[in-house]
A and B are shown apart, each in its own frame.
Chain A
Amino acid sequence: MTTLAVTPFHRRVRTFVRRLPVFIGVAILLAIVAYPLIWLLLGSFKQQDEFLSEPFWSLPRSWSLDNYVEAFVGGGLGKYILNSVIAVFPSMFLILLLGTAAGFALEVMVWKGRGAVLLVFLAGVMIPLQMILLPLFTIYFKLHLTGTLWPLIITYTATGLPLTVFMMATFFRAVPREIFEAATLDGANIYRIFWSVGMPLVRNALFTVALVQFFFIWNDLLIALTFTNSQDLRTIQAGLLNFTGQYGAVDYGPMFAGIAVNVVGTLVLYLFLNQKVMKGLTAGSVKG
């Protein structure tokens, strides 16, 4: 233990010097990821010709909110955001509830064939979504679900399940089995063990999975475009395509305003979830 000979002050200086490259690295990293946010926000104030003729880094000529007005009034963004919310949140809820229950049943409970069922779910991670579009379209059509947002909710839920089940099973695996065994000895029934013991243990994981699924579903374009065959059902991602013309002309200003609204909204949600994750973490263990 040679470090015992070094004074605290020396150690602090040495630590700082050793960490300096890391701090510089972090600063560069932040610049790389934060700049586009600024570019995007600035872009939402620019006019069409500023996008095309001015350099990439130029500031907008004026700070008028015209693009935002255009995005909401002309582009109908409000309706699309509402559609997205209606489609995404119920799906998220179902994915988390069903996925966690299945993960629990597959990892904590003991029964024959659970390995095989887990593999069946895992196979779902590998299936290219493009492959199930035609059969699903036929099914939804025959069930008279086209013309509603149900196809989106159902498809999102189903496509989100494989990953969720797989991840929740992984997280349940990390929980020491003694905890569940102790709970059974206390006389709790299995649903109670799942709800009151299992769920809180994987709380952090739940938020992580929620985060993952949210951005998947929120940013989805393929499913949204395939199963919504009406103007009134478009989600926000499909709505952003509204700013593109028939021959490929793009209305940059309103599109960026739309993206900015979308990003700010999701950012708020992220910060909220992140807060939850942090709280869960501090309730558990904190790394030093």
Chain B
Amino acid sequence: MNFAPPRFSLRFVPVWRRNFLVWKKLALPSVLGNLADPMLYMLGLGYGLGRLLPDVGGVPYLTFLAAGTVCYSTMNSATFETLYSGFSRMHVQKTWEAILNTPLNLDDLLMGEWVWAASKSLLSGLAILLVIWLLQLQESWLLTLWIVPVAFLIGLTFSGLGLIMTALSPSYDFFMYYFTLAITPMVLLCGVFYPTDQLPAFLQHVAAVLPLTHAIDIVRPLVLGHIPPGWAWHALVLFAYGALGFWLALVLTRRRLLR
């Protein structure tokens, strides 16, 4: 296997633009598909369950949930884009094959896919942020602006991890394993719906190493109006997950396509 680290060049930009052009054509269904689900969870549970609950983590449940939903929505969008859309371009439409016949190499191509998926997922995070602003859930408007770069970072994290699955997948069905074994456990364990300190100790240890926990540890304080404790560490963990995921995805995709 070729473990050479990714070579960076700006030639990835035309891949990003290609995906953006497709997205523009299909924007409405794509936006609805990405946003409706997390938004309904947030508003349905936030209002429905929120009335029955005392403050959670010291704030109304809807506010608590909104911060988690920004991260959850971004993760979902990055994951769907790299898994299903990425697999279509690689395996079904053979778009990657066409691109590899041009001056772009696989490093450029995957870099384009990685940055694209993060960009698209940023929109999903921003849509929830917009709802937060509309409902005036934030303490400090200015502080929530930090959520914009953080959401992009979260997008890079989960796009990098998603590309590994794409590189390994024989078919669309394979992705169910990733959702069942990775995405759904993170949604349920990492503090989207309740504070992780409610979990038994061993599950808290599991949650502490999962990337979604680190994402929420940055975003929730920003919504609640204070600077996240240890934000640099959390950001570093998120970036490490994304960058190492991207590297491994590149190694695996080289093995898959360039042999």
Interaction A to B: no
